[in-house]
Amino acid sequence: MERLKSAVPVDLRRAVGEGTTRDLPSTTSLLLSFLDGLPLFHQVISELTDPELALCRKDKERAVELKGQGNACFSRREFEQALGFYSQALRHLPISSDGTDEILLATLYVNRASTMHKLGLLEECLRDCDRAISVSPNYAKAWYRRGMVNASLKNYSSSMHDLEVALSMEVTSSGKSNIEHELKLILLKHQNVNEVGRSSSDCNDAELPQTAEPCKVVLECVSTPNKGRGMTSPNDISPASLIHVEDPLAAIILKSRRDTHCHYCFNEAPADAVFCPLCTIPVYCSKKCQVQAVGGISWNQDTCLRSKSNGVDLGKLSLTSTRRKDPNSKQIAEHRHECGGAHWAAVLPADIVLAGRVMAQYIDRKMLTGKSSAISGPNLDLIHHYDIDSPTSKLESHIYAIVLLLCLQKYYSSDLSWEEETLSELVLLICQVKVNSIAIVRMKSMDEGQRLTENKGNSAAGDAVMCSVEQVRVAQAIYMSGSLFNHSCRPNVHTYFHSRTLFLRSTEYIESGSSIELSYGPQAGEMDLLARQQSLQENYKFSCRCSSCSELHLSDLVIDSFCCPQKTCLGAISELTYYRSKENCVHVSLKESDVCKLSLPHASEVDEDTEKVGKLLFRNDVDLKIDPGYCMSCRSQLDLASAIATSDRAASRINRFKELTVIDEVSEVPVTDALRSLEQIKKLRHPYSKALAQAEDMVAEAFAKIGDQEQARKHCEASIEILEKLYHPKHIAIAHELTKLVSIELSLGDMASSRATFLRAEEIFSLYYGPDVQRILPYVDALKRTVTGRFIRAP
Ligand SMILES: C[S@@+](CC[C@H](N)C(=O)[O-])C[C@H]1O[C@@H](n2cnc3c(N)ncnc32)[C@H](O)[C@@H]1O
């Protein structure tokens, strides 16, 4: 792309960069004729669409080599590594029309199944056995392995059936006697034990029924004074109400999650992941997700040609298309449009692929209606900021629009013709995607939370099972109605996802007619003003005008601040300049450049804390200026540079202490050192600052790990107290911290406190997730079972 961009002559680049929306028809057609005459451009398109040139093409030799490496690891009992090699072999193995590779495919499934059996991944093993049997029904080893794993799962009748089938197929006498021996053992077990009866299914929880909870809130899209359109409701909305549920128009996995998460439902991929039949990029958690993303595969014997190399000319494969289905069909088969063995989406940025997916759907639907007119852009009713985009970004959107259209044309071949405006519309679609796409996130329960879930709540007093969670971005998606909600750094609705479905829930009482706003990422209490503004500008191209960014709030004064050297003063010392102007506003700037302008609350509405932290700001002196390093309450001065350096060094020593506890290498020295570092941070950082909350939290986690639960409790409580100043008391960040405290109290055997703390956390979780807590945060449910004492410690 860089080479293409730099090949564009200066005058054309200028015309594109300086052009507005109205100039798009001329700038796109000028660029198209330039690129058409450029050999480099045709080379790029071939690389993106020709299966013979694609980097992601399947390769049987590579698959065989990987299988060999897997076998070598298996015989050395290096099962984790063997699993990785077998999965990679499956990823690279081409599919064939004449069945020549079926045995290789079935062998790979059985080898991976055997490895997973060794690793105790029984359900995964069973699913791979099913796959091997469906590929090659006469493969004795597949039946044998399924018989063995069914026995491990205590499905004795199924196990005996499978082993009997294996016995009937086995040709060697040693093999037969081995199976007979196993059959006898299983018969004995079957007579003594009640059957549990489980079955495998090649599906994932993306297919579980959606919540039965009705979504009764009426939403209206209205015009707002300074944020364009926005959402509101004609009715009052009570807290924890389900406001909106929506499936995406299109979605794409992030590059960083490509190998770890399913490319369709975006859940973490299991050990028995399946792959795209045509290219080596996508990973799916189940056959079901694979089919939804790729469409079914069938063979067109007339057009299927042998290629020069070992496989088949994948370009000639035909995919059973969802294309001729009902125009309202929800099935998108979005990867199908991009993959004929050359997965162009693997190379292009996420925004561009999303635009391509939206366009492909639009084309499909248009073709279904039978109209043979040329294709135009989908013309979505979404905002874009093309006119204020940078010249570089405009040029990129132009080039990508042309590349996209040619890639799509390759897929649709002769079925697709377009009008002159189509390219302009595609440029705007790319800009709409940039402004409106939403990040799909998952709550990842770290380390011990996972153990708690796996134990189904069997952890009990004595075990320090800490639940910490991290929000991870896994995908990017376009939700048509979801895109109409504006951002607030202090949102009144919470966004979460199940599979690829978006859920919005009110976290507070919302009066009829008030704005309903979610957070695009940055939140007050979590990030300072500057970071929030920068992030929104960078990612969404707007200066935030939400209430948190237009009024002075305590959390922004304290979040990154230092404390006043005067012991009795609660005043905050910041790195920013605060300048009070005539209109009762405070201008906040960093190194002379304005961050934002905040209106001051009326003196009668200022709470005690805010008043103490920034006393000077509430005096009536106009032209008051508080420079970096000066107390906002009494003007005492602090050597800011040295305070920052000392506090950062202390924080990294605490971090090191926490890391040492993970690898069990803690001696008396690091403990004392960590406590001394915490004292240093306390002396320098403001008592309500985020740095101090984080330090307390790290120390709490470290003490919990080394078994000093009294210390852990003290520091965890201190961290919660600060979070309550930074956020409002019912913020989800506090609920997560409370669950850590529950774990600590459980470890101390203080059941009464753990129950009370859990109730506080549960109240917040229900506000944010309603009845969905269980499926979004399974460890919270496990923790509940522990604190309510419904489960006792496993023997
Ligand atoms: C996803 S759209 C939201 C709907 C949009 N207001 C519309 O009219 O279609 C995002 C755009 O809305 C505007 N917007 C959303 N939240 C805002 C905020 N807090 N401050 C200023 N503008 C905002 C910005 O123009 C932003 O690029």
Tell which wins on pLDDT, 666 or 505. 505
pLDDT in tens, 602-661: 877 888 999 999 999 888 776 788 999 999 999 999 999 999 999 999 999 999 888 887
- Confidence grade of residue 194 (pLDDT, cut at 50, 70, 90): low
Dihedral pair phi/psi, residue 131, rounded to 5°: -65, -40
DSSP labels, 344-405 = GGGTS-HHHHHHHHHHHHHHHHHHHTT--SPB-----S----GGGS-HHHHHHHHHHHHHHH
pLDDT at 361 over 80: yes
Atom of ligand 1 nearest to the CA of 483: 1
User: Average pLDDT over the chain, rounded to whole?
Assistant: 86
Percentage helix, strand, coil for the chain under 3-state DSSP, each rounded to 5 = 50, 15, 35
Ligand 1 neighbourhood includes 229 CB (under 6 angstroms): yes
Mutation to probe ligand 1, out of 431, 480, 487 (largest number of atoms < 8 A from CB): 487
What is the CB neighbour count within 10 angstroms for residue 142? 28
- Confidence grade of residue 323 (pLDDT, cut at 50, 70, 90): very low
- Confidence grade of residue 371 (pLDDT, cut at 50, 70, 90): low
- Ligand 1 center from residue 489 Cα (angstroms): 13
Ligand 1 neighbourhood includes 542 CB (under 6 angstroms): yes
pLDDT at 306 over 50: no
- What DSSP designation does 771 have? G
pLDDT in tens, 483-537: 999 999 999 999 999 999 999 999 999 999 999 999 999 999 999 999 999 999 9
Ligand 1 neighbourhood includes 365 CB (under 6 angstroms): no
Q: Please check whether residue 686 is in contact with residue 561, taking contact to mean a CB–CB distance below 8 angstroms.
A: yes
Q: Helix 732-747 crosses helix 690-706 at what angle (to 10 degrees)?
A: 30
Q: Please check whether residue 228 is in contact with residue 385, taking contact to mean a CB–CB distance below 8 angstroms.
A: no
ipTM for the complex shown: 0.99
pLDDT at 190 over 90: no
In the chain, pLDDT over 90 holds for what percent of residues?
Answer: 60
Predicted confidence at residue 205, as pLDDT, reads 47
Ligand 1 neighbourhood includes 462 CB (under 6 angstroms): no
Atom of ligand 1 nearest to the CA of 544: 20
3-class SS of residue 475:
strand
Predicted confidence at residue 532, as pLDDT, reads 94
Predicted confidence at residue 369, as pLDDT, reads 72
The CA distance from 435 to 383, in Å, is 7
Q: By alpha-carbon position, which residue is closest to atom 22 of ligand 1?
A: 227
Predicted confidence at residue 713, as pLDDT, reads 96
DSSP labels, 26-91 = HHHHHHHHHHHT-HHHHHHHHHHH-TTT-TT---HHHHHHHHHHHHHHHHTT-HHHHHHHHHHHHH
Predicted confidence at residue 132, as pLDDT, reads 95
pLDDT at 79 over 90: yes
Ligand 1 neighbourhood includes 480 CB (under 6 angstroms): no
Mention every residue, 6+ apart, whose C-beta is less than 8 A from residue 581: 587, 622, 623
Predicted confidence at residue 667, as pLDDT, reads 64
Q: By alpha-carbon position, which residue is closest to atom 15 of ligand 1?
A: 486
- Ligand 1 center from residue 544 Cα (angstroms): 9
Mention every residue, 6+ apart, whose C-beta is less than 8 A from residue 445: 453, 467, 468, 469, 777, 778, 779
pTM (2 d.p.): 0.87
Lowest mean pLDDT among 212-221, 258-267, 541-550, 745-754: 212-221
- Ligand 1 center from residue 352 Cα (angstroms): 21
Q: Please check whether residue 507 is in contact with residue 764, taking contact to mean a CB–CB distance below 8 angstroms.
A: no
pLDDT in tens, 121-153: 999 999 999 999 998 999 999 999 999 999 999
Average pLDDT over residues 261-269: 94
- What DSSP designation does 524 have? B
- Ligand 1 center from residue 521 Cα (angstroms): 13
pLDDT in tens, 391-439: 999 999 999 999 998 888 888 776 667 777 889 999 999 999 999 999 9
Predicted confidence at residue 319, as pLDDT, reads 33
Burial of 161 (0-12, 13-18, 19+ CB in 10 A): middle
- Confidence grade of residue 540 (pLDDT, cut at 50, 70, 90): confident
The CA distance from 180 to 329, in Å, is 51
Predicted confidence at residue 326, as pLDDT, reads 46
**Would you say the C-alpha torsion 181, 183, 186, 192 has a positive or negative sign?**
negative
Q: For residue 79, what are the CA distances in angstroms to 126, 417, 594?
A: 17, 52, 57
Ligand 1 neighbourhood includes 776 CB (under 6 angstroms): no
Average pLDDT over residues 285-305: 67
pLDDT at 748 over 80: yes
- Confidence grade of residue 322 (pLDDT, cut at 50, 70, 90): very low
Predicted confidence at residue 795, as pLDDT, reads 39
Predicted confidence at residue 457, as pLDDT, reads 41
Q: By alpha-carbon position, which residue is closest to atom 23 of ligand 1?
A: 227
Predicted confidence at residue 274, as pLDDT, reads 95
Q: By alpha-carbon position, which residue is closest to atom 4 of ligand 1?
A: 484
Tell which wins on pLDDT, 313 or 505. 505
Atom of ligand 1 nearest to the CA of 383: 9
Ligand 1 neighbourhood includes 228 CB (under 6 angstroms): yes
CA 425 to chain centroid, in Å, comes to: 29
- Ligand 1 center from residue 528 Cα (angstroms): 20
- Ligand 1 center from residue 228 Cα (angstroms): 6
- Confidence grade of residue 278 (pLDDT, cut at 50, 70, 90): confident
Q: By alpha-carbon position, which residue is closest to atom 14 of ligand 1?
A: 227
Average pLDDT over residues 310-318: 31
Beta strands in 276-364 (DSSP E): 283-284, 296-298, 318-320
Alpha helices in 545-633 (DSSP H): 547-550, 554-558, 608-613
pLDDT in tens, 80-116: 999 999 999 999 998 776 666 888 999 999 999 999 9
- Ligand 1 center from residue 538 Cα (angstroms): 14
The CA distance from 404 to 400, in Å, is 6
3-class SS of residue 531:
helix
DSSP labels, 424-450 = HHHHHHHHHHHHH-EEEEEEEEPHHHH
**Tokens 């449910």 found at:** 781
Q: Please check whether residue 272 is in contact with residue 548, taking contact to mean a CB–CB distance below 8 angstroms.
A: no
3-class SS of residue 343:
coil
pLDDT at 454 over 60: no
Predicted confidence at residue 664, as pLDDT, reads 66
pLDDT in tens, 462-471: 444 555 677 8
Predicted confidence at residue 420, as pLDDT, reads 75
pLDDT in tens, 150-166: 999 999 989 999 999 99
Q: Please check whether residue 108 is in contact with residue 89, taking contact to mean a CB–CB distance below 8 angstroms.
A: yes
The CA distance from 405 to 400, in Å, is 8
What is the CB neighbour count within 10 angstroms for residue 766? 17
Atom of ligand 1 nearest to the CA of 224: 6
In the chain, pLDDT over 70 holds for what percent of residues?
Answer: 86
Predicted confidence at residue 788, as pLDDT, reads 85
Tell which wins on pLDDT, 297 or 45. 45
- Ligand 1 center from residue 483 Cα (angstroms): 9
Burial of 630 (0-12, 13-18, 19+ CB in 10 A): buried
Longest dimension (CA), the chain: 99
3-class SS of residue 593:
strand
- Ligand 1 center from residue 384 Cα (angstroms): 10
